[in-house]
Chain A
Amino acid sequence: MWRRALDAAAQEHNVNIMPMTLQDKLAILSDAARYDASCASSGTSRRDSRDGKGLGSTEGSGICHAYAPDGRCISLLKILMTNFCIYDCVYCVNRVSSNVPRARFTPEEVVHLTTEFYRRNYIEGLFLSSGIIRSPDKTMEDMVQIARLLREREQFRGYIHLKTIPDAAPELIAQAGLYADRLSVNVELPTDASVAAYAPEKNPATIRDAMGDVKARRLASKDRSHTGKRPARFAPAGQSTQMIVGADGSNDAVILNHSARLYGDFRLKRVYYSAFSPIPDSSARLPLIKPPLMREHRLYQADWLLRFYGFGVDEITGVSAGGNLDLDIDPKLAWALAHRGLFPVDVQRAERETLLRVPGFGTKTVGRILTTRHHRTLRYGDLQRMGAGLKKARPFITLRDWSPGALTDSADLRARFAPSPEQLSLF
């Protein structure tokens, strides 16, 4: 009898009577972390362990040590410290109202997994996130403790990404940035109203304050003091965030405008887009859908156009219906098709800004065009060798030995690029 009561109590609190093995915990706490898209481990300060007194190195570009069948790179050990959480964010697998099994790593267990995986060359480092337990400060304190153990006791010189807790005390964020290469805090949803509706315990203003705080600390860490001494580097790989796509009703224009603001206001290194994807034990309030992977892909393309190609949000989202990107063709091609009057462009003479707007030309191709055309007249074959996507570019350019003729304005141009309509699948 007492046994049954104990079992019931354990189930109620999601605590197993049998102690969980490290395997069990790892299964639960990596399962819980898979909805974070970021796995970047690049762009931090250069470090190595040639002195023989530590472990690890970072050399500019990160390394993807494996790929899962979802096509995603596995660069970091991406885990939650715990998936116990007092918040009730509807889209989240770890919300308090979900019945998924719960677990919690001790700091030593995280340190052990990170260093042992690293020594076998499985990973570039650690991406540590966490549910909120007891209080934001307590949670952040434990995460900082893990980073400190790795850096100070283990002399770990690999990559560390900490997901910060927005409401945590500023002193804790200050410490986190000294140990971590990257800090991030997720804005989660594209509008304040959506956050209020789906993540009622989170406060968008607090999230923005946290990002502003990290930005200020990063700037301060780059200033020399009056004695000329440089302060310790603060989150040298910068900060990033993530937005869930397809959980609320926001269209792409809303999402991209939010991204543009984030890049501008907080100098974020990256905004990640995560297609809302089925989770175990989902909430009745948020029916599960097939994750909008193509939409996610188009958003990343548009994000690139904003950051590296001189496009404005309105230009990108203004050419398709309802403020959503065209799913069939990429956003640059969609823009060019809607602005055919500006094409074809003379590759030999056009300005850099104009070349960047040619479909099929990437920033690298444009750079190569600019250096090569100084000393010779470019031909079609040259562009091919430079890596231009000529299938796309052809209708939009002229060269000494190429003119698109009537192609640029032909009525069926879009149809040449868009995939043929898919056969309806049987229901």
Chain B
Amino acid sequence: MRSIALPRIGTAAAWREAARGLLSAGVRPEDVLWTWDGAAGDLFAEPAAPPAPSPALTVPKAFLEMANRVVWHSDPERFARLYAFLWRVRDDPRLMSARGDAGLERLRTMEKNVNRCAHKMKAFVRFRDLGADGPRRRFAAWFEPTHHTVEPTAPFFTRRFGDMDWVIVTRDVTARFEEGTLSFSEGQSKPDLPEDGAEALWGTYFRNIFNPARVKIGAMTSEMPRKYWKNMPEAQHIPDLIRTAEARARQMQDNAPTLPPLRAAKVTERLRGPGTGSTKA
């Protein structure tokens, strides 16, 4: 039994390197024990540096793309599952496009989970202003991803927020972007971030863009599951908006039409010519 230890930061590159070596050396999937971030492995396994890969090894490009996502899944079996499939796909590259292979299907589902988690991270991270002490403004966010998606998703934030310094803290990994350089460190517990006045404005926007006459709670929660709400400042308004919606919509219908303001007739007359104002109709 061979034990391969993978790091928390840089998992994707380390897994690929190890898998290439194991495959070149012909190590069978059942003879490998994968551990991650110093997790306790099998006492009887021999910890070993993975064998050096042979340069000629090729695998379908589609597999690499999939593996690069699946390694960030939270399932402890992810590395073993990937290697087991890699072992088979080396002999039969067509497996990659087969529909109905249980091993591949499982990996595809994991890939989907990671993609969704990454997408929700792009959507739901909320920065707070830390104030600037140099030319670049500084922001920080606390986020709770379902999978290990901070590392693969951080480049998106560097492309988007190029002119500011920011840090995204999670229990898993912390991503930091300072002076145009991205770095990762161990995760942390939730930091105390300063209050940010923009959150009240954003809450005002959220409350007012909502149309109380068309409540569709299921449509909201299927795209914005409750587990994300606690770190989104606008979500605190949701219960109140739902509670009052029906009454507000009814109120709009029940209110008797009001008389137009006096200026309306003047404006309309100027636009349409005298005698045609709607107020006279």
Contact = CB atoms under 8 A, between A and B. Distances in A.
Interface of A: 12-14, 22-23, 26-28, 30-31, 33-35, 48-57, 59, 63-74, 77-79, 86-88, 96-99, 113, 116-117, 119-122, 155, 200-201, 275, 277-284, 288, 290-291, 293, 368, 372, 381-382, 385-386
A49 B218 contact: no
B210 A98 contact: no
Contact of A385 (B105, B129, B211): B105
Contacts of B202: 117, 120, 122
Interface string B97-111: 001100001000000
Contacts of A382: 99-100
Nearest to B136: A52
A64 B223 CA distance: 9
Closest 3 A-B residue pairs measured CB to CB? A71-B219, A71-B216, A49-B162
8 contacts: A30-B204, A97-B268, A97-B278, A119-B129, A120-B198, A278-B249, A288-B252, A382-B99
Interface string B19-48: 000000000000000000000000000000
B204 A27 contact: yes
B141 interface: yes
Interface in B203-225: 204-220, 223-224
Interface in B250-277: 252-253, 255, 257-258, 260-264, 267-268, 271-272
A30 to B, nearest CB: 4
A281 B259 CA distance: 10
A70 B216 contact: yes
Contact of B258 (A13, A52, A71, A281): A281
Interface of B: 99-100, 105, 119, 122-129, 137, 139, 141, 156, 158-164, 180, 196, 198-202, 204-220, 223-224, 232, 234-235, 238, 241-242, 245, 249, 252-253, 255, 257-258, 260-264, 267-268, 271-272, 278-279
A99 B258 contact: yes
A381 B100 contact: yes
B162 A63 contact: no
A16 B190 CA distance: 43
Given A50-B158, A283-B257, A385 B232 contact: no
Contact of A121 (B125, B208, B216, B264): B125
Contact of B253 (A35, A99, A288, A386): A288
Nearest to B199: A120
A64 B209 contact: no
Nearest to A29: B208
B32 to A, nearest CB: 29
A128 to B, nearest CB: 14
Contacts of B122: 63
> Chain A contact residues: over half helix, strand or loop, or mixed?
loop
B278 A88 contact: yes
B100 A116 contact: no
A68 B206 CA distance: 7
Contacts of B123: 63-66
A174 to B, nearest CB: 26
A120 B196 contact: yes
Contact of B208 (A13, A26, A275, A293): A26
Contacts of A381: 100
A88 B264 contact: yes
Given A119-B139, A293-B214, A51 B208 contact: no
A102 to B, nearest CB: 10
Contacts of A116: 198, 201
Contacts of A155: 163
A23 B214 contact: no
A62 to B, nearest CB: 10
Given A23-B204, A34-B208, A121-B127, A52 B214 contact: no
Contacts of A283: 257
Nearest to B125: A121
Given A64-B223, A66-B232, A122-B202, A71 B218 contact: yes
Given A66-B224, A86-B267, A281-B255, 7 more contacts: A23-B201, A49-B160, A50-B159, A57-B156, A69-B238, A70-B211, A291-B214
A30 B209 CA distance: 5
B261 to A, nearest CB: 6
Contacts of A34: 208-211
B261 A14 contact: yes
Nearest to B207: A27
- Residue picked from A52, A69, A372, most chain B C-beta under 10 Å: A69
A159 to B, nearest CB: 12
A59 B119 CA distance: 13
B141 A121 contact: yes
Nearest to A296: B214
B264 A33 contact: no
A5 to B, nearest CB: 15
A67 to B, nearest CB: 4
B210 A69 contact: yes
Contacts of B261: 12, 14, 96-97, 99
A124 to B, nearest CB: 10
B252 A282 contact: yes
Nearest to B268: A88
A6 B242 CA distance: 39
Given A52-B180, A71-B216, A293-B214, A86 B271 contact: yes
Nearest to B141: A121
Nearest to B200: A23
B200 to A, nearest CB: 7
A70 B215 contact: yes
B100 A77 contact: no
Contacts of B159: 48-50, 57, 59
Nearest to A68: B210
B209 A33 contact: yes
Contacts of B125: 121
B255 to A, nearest CB: 7
A273 to B, nearest CB: 13
A368 B100 CA distance: 13
Contacts of A57: 156, 159-160, 162
Contacts of A368: 99
Contact of A55 (B163, B206, B212): B163
A80 to B, nearest CB: 11
B232 to A, nearest CB: 7
A291 B213 contact: yes
Nearest to A58: B160
